[in-house]
Structure 1
Amino acid sequence: MTSVASEQSTPARGRQRVIESALAQFAEFGVEGTSLQMIADAMGVTKAAVYYHFKTKDEIVLAVVAPALGQLREILDHAEVQRTQAARTRTFLTGFVHLVVGHRELLTLLYDDVAVLRTLRRHLPDFHDYERRIPVAVVGAGAEPGRRVAAAVALTGIVAAAGSPEFTALGDADLEGHLLDAGLRLITPRRRSRP
């Protein structure tokens, strides 16, 4: 097993190794089913080496999701400055699909594991801001319930489809195109035909 001293020689790399190992363990066993010892064992280091970088599992969860949350904030910021709701919807969905395809394992975990959401809500005061801003970016403030439900189905479905083994043979660009088309079809209001 690697000692604390050797992990300390490259702190940034050691920290990144913990994050990568934790994500793999979380994906397989869930956050609550993963211990710091399991993360250390998967890395081939001592538990003390993990503690050198992170004092709690919650700290690891926050570090695992931080890059994706940063990208999500940028996507929201960019979508919110668009002039029309249609442009905001397309801008957000395009960015969201790209984010999900680039971080399949992480976003599936974020959507599927209630322990992750609980950790984010407990430790990130501005996480509620994401939860408020996303539906507004997708369907607008005050959207009727049917459109809000469609948005929730679309976003959850995008994450589920991106993480599905059924679509691993598709290239990223093809998968992104299909996911965006499906999301827009679900969210975009249908024109009612005249009787």
Structure 2
Amino acid sequence: MLIVRFGTTKRTPVAKLFPEWYFHQNASKVFEQDMGFLSSQNEILLKEKLPTKELYLNLKSSDTWVAEYRKWMDKVGHGMPYHFGHSTISLPNEPAVVEHAPAGLVAGLSASSPAKGGIGTMHAPNLANRYFRHVIHCKGCRTVVKAFQAWKNALTAVAVASAALAILVSGRQWKALLLVSASLCSVGVYACSTAIAMNTTNFIRTHRRL
């Protein structure tokens, strides 16, 4: 489970121009960048069996929310299966199978495997990809993905029909009009595919030689 805490409940005028799903996919991108560290940290906490204040130095300049979250776990963690707080811990009776994996292994698989969601020909060999981790649980993003998929299918059909008619008609004006229509629909298909990928595909950091 991923808990996200934003610094304010009010959005700036510029932020209001962007749809809700854009911020959701951006938050998922940040989480996926940190997934390797979170996996390693979880293994260290289980191995050391110590509260976080004994293992980490939280800087007030950058880690205030992290420290407050751990202190909050001290207060409410007794009602959870297990928790690691700032001063207290409660170990799980039986660690999950994923926690027996070497540090970063699960994160590495989810980041490098070609998991791109569960739409059409896309498939997911593990449950750590963005589609199964977020989209199926978020009504807003799930609705948006379905809408983009429907638009993509409709625009694809129109593009194919326009291209076919452009081949059959003899008038130059009609041929040009149909080709322009097919081109615009193709741009729409590409935009829909990009939006679907933004919501369903894990972030993968690209490495390039300097």
Rg larger for:
2
Q: TM-score, normalised by structure 1?
A: 0.28
